[in-house]
């Protein structure tokens, strides 16, 4: 694939905090609310998605940047309706195509059970209907409430990701070559005078200085990137659902696939490891935080290593990507809040440390 200079420039600008909404300008996630399921506005949507309006008993809105509705039916089943993202950077049909692609890949039963099923789509409006995992919680809530994640969940999650990463992508890549992903770090960290003057947040100098100190490390990440698997690319703890019973037939569900593509499978692993580390940083000073993070990381990686034949020589790359996730967390706080704050500074500090010294001991002492 021929590199796209425009994409490289957009990545650099976004990563360094240029051309982003000023703090307070970004729309907050919508609150969960009730909808009148008899609404004339929803009737044509139900029809387009093969849902009998007379069978609908309740509609509620989910917390999301995009419009997402939970539609409960008289037979006790439910559907999740998702409208396109109004953010122009995500105004595409990636999730529709990705969900359609799952049924064409050679996936294990355990992996397929962990992925959403596309039930219907209205190609005119871009709205899709998915099956729903009911009576579940987000991994982020489990980490917040209990810290240590049940081993059964982590093993099922490792199995699901190992099956996805091992699936052959040759035919899919030939059909969708534009889905080739690159590392989410810039090759250049040099701002123009205008960009420097319009950087985001009062701690922008601190953030930019750290990013510039990592310039050579970013180039190494680009050189070592292996886009040979289908990856989620946004494996945050909010995008992982867990059944309340860890012994359920399908206890894990991985959602929100609009950022997916062909990339380095270790980036998914690093993103998840980074989430466990970020949770520990949010409890900085609490000895239970690092202990829980060590348990979660070790259990997940041991299971993944056994199931996917993880290359020991590349395990350091997982922790580099975890460091990238912490940098993203710092950037998000800078852009949304206008300052890094204590947590943002910690994410920046330990993100840099993990990229330069990619071992869990670099942060979990």
* Residue 236 belongs to a domain: no
Q: Mean pLDDT check: name the lowest of 48-62, 194-208, 230-244.
A: 194-208
* Residue 325 belongs to a domain: no
Between residues 198 and 114, the one the model is more confident about: 114
* Residue 78 belongs to a domain: yes
Q: Confidence class of residue 326 from pLDDT cuts 50, 70 and 90?
A: very high
* CATH (domain of 52): 3.30.200
CA 57 – CA 54 distance, rounded (Å)? 8
According to the 3-state scheme, what is the secondary structure of 209-222?
HHHHHCHHHHHHHH
* Residue 202 belongs to a domain: no
Question: Residue 236: what are its φ and ψ, rounded to 5°?
Answer: -80, 160
**Number of compact structural domains in the chain:** 1
What pLDDT does 17 receive?
Answer: 62
Tell how far CA 230 is from the center of its chain: 14
Query: Tell me: the pLDDT tens digits for 295-324?
Result: 999 999 999 999 998 777 788 999 999 999
Task: Annotate 138-152 with b (16+ C-beta within 10 A) or e (fewer).
Answer: bbeebbeeebbbbeb
* Residue 59 belongs to a domain: yes
- Region 184-200: mean pLDDT is 81
Between residues 17 and 93, the one the model is more confident about: 93
- Region 120-130: mean pLDDT is 90
Residue pointed to by tokens 């982003």: 20
Q: Confidence class of residue 2 from pLDDT cuts 50, 70 and 90?
A: very low
Q: Where are the beta strands (DSSP E) in the chain?
A: 34-35, 56-61, 68-73, 78-82, 118-122, 127-131, 136-138, 229-231, 240-243, 252-254, 261-263
* Residue 86 belongs to a domain: yes
Q: Which residues span the domain enclosing 72? A: 30-63+65-132
Q: Edge-to-edge, what's the strand order for the sheet holding 136-138?
A: 136-138, 240-243, 252-254
What pLDDT does 25 receive?
Answer: 42
pTM of the model: 0.89
* Residue 48 belongs to a domain: yes
Instruction: Give the chain's mean pLDDT.
Output: 86
Query: Tell me: the pLDDT tens digits for 72-100?
Result: 999 999 999 998 876 544 556 788 999 99
Q: Confidence class of residue 129 from pLDDT cuts 50, 70 and 90?
A: very high
* Residue 9 belongs to a domain: no
């Amino acid at each position: 694939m021929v590199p796209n200079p425009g994409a490289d420039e957009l990545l650099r600008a976004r990563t360094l905090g240029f051309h982003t909404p000023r703090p307070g300008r970004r729309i907050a996630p919508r609150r969960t609310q009730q909808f009148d399921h008899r609404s004339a506005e929803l009737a044509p949507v139900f029809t387009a998605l093969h849902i009998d309006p007379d069978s609908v008993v309740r509609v509620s809105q989910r917390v999301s940047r995009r419009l997402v509705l939970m539609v409960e039916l008289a037979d006790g089943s439910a559907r999740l309706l998702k409208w396109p993202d109004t953010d122009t950077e995500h105004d595409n049909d990636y999730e529709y195509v990705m969900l359609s692609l799952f049924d064409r890949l050679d996936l294990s039963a355990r992996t397929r059970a962990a992925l959403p099923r596309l039930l219907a789509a209205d190609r005119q409006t871009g709205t899709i209907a998915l099956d729903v995992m009911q009576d579940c919680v987000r991994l982020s809530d489990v980490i917040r409430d209990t810290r240590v994640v049940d081993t059964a969940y982590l093993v099922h999650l490792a199995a699901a990701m190992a099956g996805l990463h091992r699936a052959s992508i040759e035919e899919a890549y030939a059909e969708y070559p534009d889905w080739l992903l690159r590392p989410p770090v810039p090759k250049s960290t040099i701002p123009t005078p205008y960009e420097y003057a319009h950087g985001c947040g009062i701690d922008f100098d601190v953030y930019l200085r750290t990013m510039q100190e990592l310039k050579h490390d970013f180039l190494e990440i680009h050189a070592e990137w292996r886009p040979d698997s289908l990856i989620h690319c946004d494996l945050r703890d909010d995008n992982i659902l867990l059944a309340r019973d860890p012994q359920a037939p399908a206890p894990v569900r991985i959602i929100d696939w609009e950022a997916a593509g062909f990339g380095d499978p270790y980036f998914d692993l690093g993103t998840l490891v980074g989430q466990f580390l970020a949770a520990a940083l949010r409890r900085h000073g609490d000895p239970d935080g690092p202990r829980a993070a060590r348990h979660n990381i070790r259990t997940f990686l041991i299971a993944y290593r056994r199931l996917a034949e993880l290359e020991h020589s590349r395990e350091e790359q997982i922790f580099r990507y975890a460091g990238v996730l912490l940098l993203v967390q710092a950037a998000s706080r800078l852009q949304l809040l206008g300052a890094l704050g204590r947590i943002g500074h910690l994410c920046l500090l330990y993100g840099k440390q993990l990229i330069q010294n990619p071992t869990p001991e670099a942060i979990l002492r």
